[in-house]
Chain A
Amino acid sequence: MTLKVYGDYVSQPTTAVLLLCLANKIDFELVPVNLRTGEHLGPEFKAINPTGQVPVIDDDGFILSESTAILRYLAVTRNVPDHWYPKDVKARARIDYLLDWYHTNLRQIAVYVIQKELGPTFWKIPRPDEAQLKPAQGKMTASVEILEEFLLKPEEGPFLLGAPQPSIADLICSCEYTLTRYLPQEEQEELLGRRPKTKKWLKALEKTLGRHYSEINKTLPELLKLVADARSSG
């Protein structure tokens, strides 16, 4: 039975799972769950995942949610090349660390972008003022700074923690950065302008997985326009 992935392109963790599948020719069927209309909070989806969060997979009846758990499970069950989630105990621990750090730190990008842009655009949440945004913005900037200063070692390799080939950590983290595209141009420049190692890392991933990123980001232009329009109309 073909793997089912319940999700929405606007959800970055969903796109990370799709990216792993595309990069490894894992057949899947995307079952759309429309976050903008609140489909994820309806009884039908909650029957599949009581937390109402995407992505969720159905692997021939085995239901699993949490993107990073899904990425690990697919890497192992589909026997993908070792670099995605190495078997070596220490190499694997380093990937696990990055995946945990993503949850506790880098996911602040989503918190900020949702609060500032996506919430007001898609769910008619009142636009927060600068003071209200400050905590999330601070955490986001701190995380982006940590990745730039400590988690990239281009002298060793182009991917996270100096790896020569990408891992599932590179997928989930890079997909998170895509969210910054929803911010005004000046803000994107502010965030990534002085972070050359980050830009280089994102380029390296683009080079390795180019057409797959295009596939997972295919609804992005339309979504970006909606956000920009909402911002200019106040």
Chain B
Amino acid sequence: MTIKVYGSLMSQPTRAIVLLCLANKIPYELVFVDISKLDHKKPEFTALNPAGQIPVLDDDGFILPESVSILKYLATSRHLPDHWYPVDVKARARVDYLLDWYHTNIRSNCYVFEKEYSSLVSWKMEPDAVAIRSYEQKMNSSMDLVEESFLKAEEGKGPFLLGSSQPSIADILFASEYAQTQILSQADQERIFTGRDKTKKWLELTEKTLDPHFAEVLKPIADLSRVLEAARNGN
């Protein structure tokens, strides 16, 4: 049976799962959960995930929330090439570390969400300036760590996260997260990536490795980005 992925391509973790499926030809069906309309808080959805969060996987009746678990489960159960989630204990521990660190760190969507499109959702929130500053600080320190400690191509190691020679599910998840910054203004994006050359290089390489799927999966974000940029320019 084709797996069902409940989520939205506007959501970074959902995108990561779809990317893994596309890159490995795993047939899937994306069941759209519209978070702007609070679908994720409705009983039909919380029956699948009581935490009311996307994405959720339905693998022939086996229900699994939490994107990181889903990525690991798909890599293992579909016997994907080892580099996605290595069997070697230490290599795997390094990927586990990145995926755990991700939860409380690089998850910078809050900054992007709060700044750019919280007012577009049906909850009609006003952007919270205090929250935006706090999220921005957090986002910056996380991005600094990625740039300064997680990318080791210049030390003669591999070009992917933690010096790996091939991408893992951590590279997909992190790249998907960074891609959300495309919603920000050109000026904001430039500011974020100034002084983060290693990050830019790694992102370009990861996107290239996953193309044409990366561009395909980013289409809703690219569309929203154009709309917001037009609005900023007063069009």
Residues on A facing B (Cβ under 8 Å): 50-51, 62, 64-69, 72-73, 76-77, 89-90, 92-94, 96-97, 99-101, 103-105, 107, 146, 149-151
Residues 58-96 of B, flagged 1 when their CB comes within 8 A of A and 0 if not, give: 000010111111001100110000000000011011101
Q: Is the CB of B93 within 8 A of A64?
A: yes
Report Cα–Cα, A128/B77, bound state, in Å: 47
Closest chain A CB from B146 CB (angstroms): 11
Instruction: From the candidates B66, B76, B90, B92, name the one contacting A89 in the complex (CB within 8 A).
Output: B76
Q: List 28 A-B contacts (CB under 8 A).
A: A50-B148, A51-B105, A62-B90, A62-B93, A66-B96, A68-B96, A68-B100, A69-B96, A69-B97, A73-B96, A76-B89, A77-B89, A89-B73, A89-B76, A90-B62, A92-B76, A96-B69, A97-B65, A97-B66, A100-B67, A100-B103, A101-B65, A103-B104, A104-B53, A107-B104, A149-B50, A150-B50, A151-B50
A149 to B68, CA, bound (A): 23
Q: How far is the CA of A151 from the CA of B99 in the complex (A)?
A: 22
Q: Does B120 contact A (CB under 8 A)?
A: no
Name the prevailing secondary structure of the A interface residues. helix
A101 to B66, CA, bound (A): 7
CB pair A96 B72 closer than 8 Å: yes
Q: Interface residues of B: mostly helix, strand, loop or mixed?
A: helix
Is B101 positioned at the interface, with any CB of A under 8 Å from its CB? yes
Chain A hits for B77, CB < 8 A:
89
A-B pairs, top 10 by smallest CB distance, nearest first, are A103-B103, A100-B66, A69-B96, A96-B69, A66-B100, A150-B50, A93-B73, A69-B97, A73-B93, A97-B69
Are B96 and A104 in contact (CB-based, < 8 A)?
Answer: no
Minimum C-beta distance from B17 to chain A (A)? 13
Q: Which residue of A51, A93, A149 is within 8 Å of B72 (Cβ)? A: A93
Question: Which residues does chain A contribute within 8 Å of B76, judged by CB atoms?
Answer: 89, 92
Docked pose: A150 CA to B90 CA in angstroms: 33
B-side interface size class:
20 to 34
* Complex interface: chain A residues within 8 A of B227 (CB): none
A164 shortest CB reach to chain B, Å:
20
**B51, CB-defined interface residue at 8 Å:** yes
Query: Which among A69, A92, A146 has the greatest number of chain B C-beta atoms within 10 A?
Result: A69
Chain B neighbourhood of A92, CB < 8 A: 76
B119 within 8 A of A: no
Given A67-B100, A69-B93, A104-B51, 15 other A-B residues pairs in contact with their CB atoms under 8 A? A62-B93, A64-B93, A64-B97, A65-B101, A68-B100, A72-B93, A76-B89, A89-B76, A93-B64, A96-B69, A99-B100, A100-B67, A101-B51, A103-B100, A104-B103
Q: B23 to chain A: which residues have CB within 8 Å? A: none
Most buried by B among A62, A103, A149: A103
Check: B149 CB closer than 8 A to any chain A CB: yes
Residues of B within 8 A of A (CB): 50-51, 53, 62, 64-69, 72-73, 76-77, 89-90, 92-94, 96-97, 99-101, 103-105, 145, 148-149
Instruction: Name the distance in Å between A17's Cβ and chain B's nearest Cβ.
Output: 13
CA distance A96 to B92 in the complex (A): 14
Known: A72-B93, A73-B89, A101-B65. A50 touches B145 (CB 8 A): yes
Give the chain B neighbours of A93 by CB distance below 8 A.
62, 64, 69, 72-73
B73 to A, closest residue via Cβ = A93
- Measured between beta carbons, the chain B residues less than 8 angstroms from A97 are 64-66, 69
Q: Which residues of the other chain, B, contact A51 by a CB distance below 8 angstroms?
A: 101, 105, 145
Q: How far is the CB of B204 from chain A (nearest CB, A)?
A: 24
Would A96 and B101 count as touching, CB distance under 8 A?
no
Closest to B144 in A: A50
On chain B, the residues within 8 Å of A72 by CB distance are 92-93, 96
In the bound complex, CA of A101 to CA of B56 (Å): 12
Collect the chain B residues with CB atoms within 8 Å of residue A107's CB. 104
User: Which residue of chain B is the closest to A107 with respect to CB atoms?
Assistant: B104
Residues of A within 8 A of B92 (CB): 72-73
**Beta-carbon nearest neighbor of B50 in chain A:** A150
B residues near A96, Cβ cutoff 8 Å: 66, 68-69, 72-73
Distance A77 CA – B93 CA, assembled complex (angstroms): 10
Please, which residue of chain B has its CB at the minimum distance from the CB of A142? Answer: B51
